[in-house]
């Protein structure tokens, strides 16, 4: 038999006036006569980190039993639909976060497991974070080695926490010990970073006023591509483009609402939805788009900055988050903190659902991803960094089995989890920060 099928490159892009649009994994990208189910190397693994500020009320977070679970604890209830791909880990610790600036160092140590240099100036120093170690290996195969996102639109400067510069609270990701990577909170900016736009700022504004989707600029390429692939791929391409259009439509709606407001909030850029949850979901959608198009395989997302006093009236919490986290045993404040924690978990559940509903090879993006959700602080009322609220989600390309609560008898370095997750996505290291070894319990069967 003579095989004449031509394989489409995984790095195929649609190009138009100033934009570059990557494509999801298609059957046409696989070698001729290779069944998708047998192409183990075709789906690539993704690595994500979502930061929960100011710890959690652990009584409602930690499951009451260890081992296999049939459902999660009250705070984690919204993760029940993903039970088989979610593990809860307890008694993990960040020793290097202990300092006089516990909020700043909780954020800084979460992905570095390192001790931040105490300074209020520009001579800050930390360590290369785990996401950037992965980016050097698996990120070099994508247009963006990594994607750094946040929810806070303003960046604090100077001294933010008892002698620690604000840079430690502003940034989760550090490319080197002295090079923090700023996170972007503007959906429009993120969208254009992923898909591009052409011309000067005035040119781009003119394009937006024309109310034309940037996807219209690549329709010629889309039409040609649709004619050259099979029916299954045509459906995937159409579905993917519809998803991109929907995200762009929501960004434009947010911009229009802000433009039509009689007294716009000058501190809120017009690219940001009014409601916190809408903003967060849109940022999660952008991460899914980036992963699906293989624009990046590594992302970090800060749901709020440490010491944030953001209020959440939509869930009945008009008090600031930081204020209620220092509850001193007050029942009303504890209840408010539990509501905030559960709200943040529900947003993470939205992200998991988007990943689970996005096809990738024979499975889904959730099957191919490994995502750490948690905080660098344990009990915020006493500013400790042990018994951290930590969840690991996703299939990791078949390397992670969920539905469990793993509790360590002794405080165990969070760096051990980082080391384990790196190994599962194909970045093996002997050690990371203060690690003492990989977490054997996350391997099934044990392969260490």
Q: Of 37-46, 59-68, 94-103, 422-431, give the lowest mean pLDDT range.
A: 37-46
Calpha distance 344→124 (Å, rounded): 30
Instruction: Indicate the burial class of 245 (C-beta count within 10 angstroms; 0-12, 13-18, 19 or more).
Output: middle
Q: Do 306 and 435 sit in the same domain of this protein?
A: yes
Q: Do 417 and 433 sit in the same domain of this protein?
A: yes
pLDDT higher than 80, residue 250: no
pLDDT higher than 80, residue 239: no
Q: What is the mean pLDDT of residues 387-410?
A: 96
Q: Do 390 and 253 sit in the same domain of this protein?
A: no
Q: Do 331 and 369 sit in the same domain of this protein?
A: yes
* Number of structural domains in the chain: 2
Q: Do 206 and 351 sit in the same domain of this protein?
A: no
Q: What domain range includes position 332?
A: 46-185+277-289+297-442
Q: What is the 3-state secondary structure (H, E, C) of the chain?
A: CCCCCCCCCCCCEEEECCEEEECCCCHHHCCCCCCHHHCCCCCCCEEEEEECCCCCCHHHHCCCCCEECCCCCHHHHHHHHHHHHEEEEEEEECHHHCCCCHHHHHHHHHCCCCCCCCCCCCCCCCCCCHHHHHHHHCHHHCCCCCEEEECCCCCCCCEEECCEECHHHHCCCEEECCEECCCECCHHHHHHHHHECCCCHHHHHHHHHCCCCHHHHHHHHHHHHHHHCCHHHHHHHHHHHHHHHHHHHHHHHHHHHHHHCCCCCCCCCCCCCCCHHHHHHHHHHHHHHHHHCCCCCEEEEECCCCCCCCCEHHHCECCCHHHHHCCCCCHHHHHHHHHHHHHHHHHHHHHHHHHHCCEECCEEHHHHEEEEEECCCCCCCCCCCECCCEEEECCCCCCCCCCEEEEEEEEEEHHHHHHHHHHHCCCCCCCCCCCCCCCHHHCCCCCC
pLDDT higher than 80, residue 231: no
Q: Do 148 and 93 sit in the same domain of this protein?
A: yes
Q: Judge whether 80 lies within some domain.
A: yes
Q: Do 176 and 318 sit in the same domain of this protein?
A: yes
Tell which of 206, 237, 271 closes a domain: 271
Closest among 254, 243, 244, 239 to 208, alpha carbons compared: 254
Give the domain CATH number at 305.
3.40.720
More confident residue, 204 or 158: 158
Q: Judge whether 252 lies within some domain.
A: yes
Calpha distance 418→279 (Å, rounded): 28
- Give me the pLDDT at residue 99, please: 85
β-pairing, 369-374 with 46-51? parallel
pLDDT higher than 80, residue 346: yes
Q: Do 30 and 145 sit in the same domain of this protein?
A: no
Q: Judge whether 447 lies within some domain.
A: no
394 sits in the region (left: phi over 0; alpha: psi -120 to 50; else beta) called: left
The pLDDT mean for the chain works out to 84
- Give me the pLDDT at residue 375, please: 98
Per-residue confidence band for 443, with pLDDT thresholds at 50, 70 and 90: confident
Q: Judge whether 448 lies within some domain.
A: no
Q: Judge whether 430 lies within some domain.
A: yes
Q: Do 28 and 84 sit in the same domain of this protein?
A: no
Calpha distance 155→169 (Å, rounded): 9
CA dihedral (240, 243, 248, 249) positive or negative: positive
Q: Judge whether 27 lies within some domain.
A: yes
- The per-residue pLDDT for range 19-36, each reduced to its tens digit, is 556 666 666 665 554 443
Q: Of 22-36, 46-60, 414-428, give the lowest mean pLDDT range.
A: 22-36
Q: Do 204 and 304 sit in the same domain of this protein?
A: no
Residues belonging to the chain: 448
Q: What is the mean pLDDT of residues 320-328?
A: 96
- The per-residue pLDDT for range 91-113, each reduced to its tens digit, is 999 999 998 768 999 999 999 99
Q: Do 320 and 403 sit in the same domain of this protein?
A: yes
Calpha distance 324→380 (Å, rounded): 9
More confident residue, 120 or 245: 120
Q: Do 114 and 134 sit in the same domain of this protein?
A: yes
Q: Judge whether 106 lies within some domain.
A: yes
The pTM of the full predicted model, rounded to 2 decimals, is 0.81
Q: Judge whether 63 lies within some domain.
A: yes
pLDDT higher than 90, residue 277: yes
CA dihedral (104, 107, 113, 114) positive or negative: negative
pLDDT higher than 70, residue 207: no
Q: Of 156-160, 181-185, 406-410, give the lowest mean pLDDT range.
A: 156-160
pLDDT higher than 80, residue 177: yes
Q: What is the mean pLDDT of residues 81-89?
A: 97
Calpha distance 318→308 (Å, rounded): 13
- Give me the pLDDT at residue 78, please: 98
User: Is residue 324 within 8 Å of residue 337, measured between CB atoms?
Assistant: yes
Give the CA angle between residues 352, 424, 184 to the nearest 5°.
Answer: 50
């Amino acid at each position: 038999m003579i095989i004449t099928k031509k394989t489409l490159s995984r790095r195929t892009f649609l190009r138009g006036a100033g934009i570059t649009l990557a494509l999801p994994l298609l059957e046409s990208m696989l070698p001729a006569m290779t069944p998708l189910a047998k192409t183990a190397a075709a789906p690539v693994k993704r690595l994500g980190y979502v930061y929960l500020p100011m710890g959690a009320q652990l009584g409602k977070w930690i499951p009451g039993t260890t081992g296999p679970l049939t459902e999660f604890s009250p705070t984690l209830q919204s993760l029940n639909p993903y039970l088989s791909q979610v593990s809860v880990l307890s008694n993990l610790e960040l020793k290097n976060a202990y300092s006089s600036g516990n909020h700043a160092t909780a954020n800084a140590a979460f992905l570095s497991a390192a001790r931040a240099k105490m300074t209020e100036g520009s001579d800050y120093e930390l360590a290369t974070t785990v996401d950037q170690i992965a980016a050097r290996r698996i990120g070099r195969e994508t247009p963006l080695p990594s994607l750094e996102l946040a929810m806070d639109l303003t960046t604090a400067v100077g001294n933010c926490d008892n002698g620690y510069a604000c840079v430690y609270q502003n940034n989760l990701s550090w490319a080197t010990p002295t090079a923090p990577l700023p996170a972007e909170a503007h959906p429009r900016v993120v969208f254009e970073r992923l898909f591009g736009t052409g011309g000067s700022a005035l040119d781009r504004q003119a394009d937006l006023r024309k109310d034309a989707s940037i996807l219209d600029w690549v329709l010629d390429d889309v039409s040609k591509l649709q004619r050259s692939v099979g029916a299954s791929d045509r459906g995937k391409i159409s579905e993917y483009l519809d998803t991109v259009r929907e995200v762009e439509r929501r960004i434009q709606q947010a911009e229009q609402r802000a433009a039509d407001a009689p007294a716009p909030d000058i501190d809120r850029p017009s690219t940001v939805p009014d409601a916190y949850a809408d903003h967060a979901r849109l940022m999660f959608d952008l991460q899914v788009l980036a992963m699906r198009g293989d624009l990046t395989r590594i992302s970090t997302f800060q749901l709020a900055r440490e010491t944030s006093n953001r209020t959440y009236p939509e869930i009945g919490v008009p008090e600031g988050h930081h204020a209620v986290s220092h509850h001193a045993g007050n029942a009303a404040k504890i209840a408010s903190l539990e509501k905030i924690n559960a709200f943040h978990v529900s947003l993470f559940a939205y992200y998991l659902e988007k990943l689970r509903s996005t096809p990738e090879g024979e499975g889904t993006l959730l099957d191919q991803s490994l995502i750490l959700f948690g905080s660098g602080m344990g009990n915020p009322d006493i500013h400790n960094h042990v018994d951290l609220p930590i969840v690991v989600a996703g299939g990791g390309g078949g390397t992670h089995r969920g539905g469990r609560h793993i509790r360590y008898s002794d405080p165990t370095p969070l760096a051990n989890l980082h080391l384990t997750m790196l190994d599962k996505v194909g970045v093996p290291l002997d050690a990371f920060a203060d690690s003492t070894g990989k977490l054997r319990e996350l391997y099934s069967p044990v392969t260490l």
